[in-house]
Amino acid sequence: MTRCVVGIDPGGKTTGIVARRGDKLLGHWLVENVGGVPYRGRVIERLSLVVVTTPDPDPLPLVLVAVEGVKAPNPHLGVTNPTGIIATARVLGWVEQWCADVLVDLVVVPPAYHGSGPLAAYPPELVGAREKTGTGILRHCRSAWDISYIGERLWRFRESAS
């Protein structure tokens, strides 16, 4: 059976999550850092629901979580304020800890230009109705989509090398 891959684009303000099997999008979610329930709780609750409700009789062994990592800010590239990176790194840590606690395979994908492909390259559900340039809120889910593919490739490479 094909593994379900959960891709996560962590962010200090918004986290995009997708679940897919092969090329089929199973679902997508945006978790926003708003008042009320603490952000950590919102991210982990959504991740838990996604993994537990994958359409497999025994989902946990058949789920791979791929999450984008972080890079240190580089003043040579004009990035000197680490606040956003720190907030993103916290979300990454929450995901890493959750996966370790429930024994779900995890791959950390190096940051790149995830989600920046042509809009037509993504499932229609990941493109906003009025979106023309790729700058809408669903960009986080498109990023998670790309992360899920790269993470799956990295996982397969790692498994074949061992």
Domains of the chain: 4-161 (3.30.420.10)
Query: Using the 8-state DSSP alphabet, how is residue 114 labeled?
Result: T
Identify whether the C-beta of residue 109 lies closer than 8 Å to the C-beta of residue 150: yes
User: pLDDT tens digit string along 74-118?
Assistant: 788 777 788 889 999 999 999 999 999 998 999 999 999 999 999
User: pLDDT tens digit string along 38-55?
Assistant: 999 999 999 999 887 765
Identify whether the C-beta of residue 28 lies closer than 8 Å to the C-beta of residue 147: no
Cα 62 from chain centre: 17
69: left (phi > 0), else alpha (psi -120 to 50), else beta?
A: beta
3-state secondary structure at position 98 = helix
Proportion of the chain in helix, strand, coil states, percent, rounded to 5: 45, 20, 35
pLDDT at 60 over 80: no
pLDDT at 62 over 70: yes
Q: How confident is the model at residue 8 (pLDDT cuts 50, 70, 90)?
A: very high
pTM recorded for the entire structure: 0.92
Identify whether the C-beta of residue 4 lies closer than 8 Å to the C-beta of residue 15: no
The pLDDT of residue 77: 72
The pLDDT of residue 75: 80
Per-residue pLDDT averaged across 123-146, rounded?
94
How many angstroms separate the CA atoms of 30 and 70, rounded?
Answer: 19
Query: CB neighbours (10 Å) of residue 31?
Result: 23
Strands (E), the chain: 4-9, 14-21, 24-32, 63-68, 105-109
pLDDT at 56 over 60: no
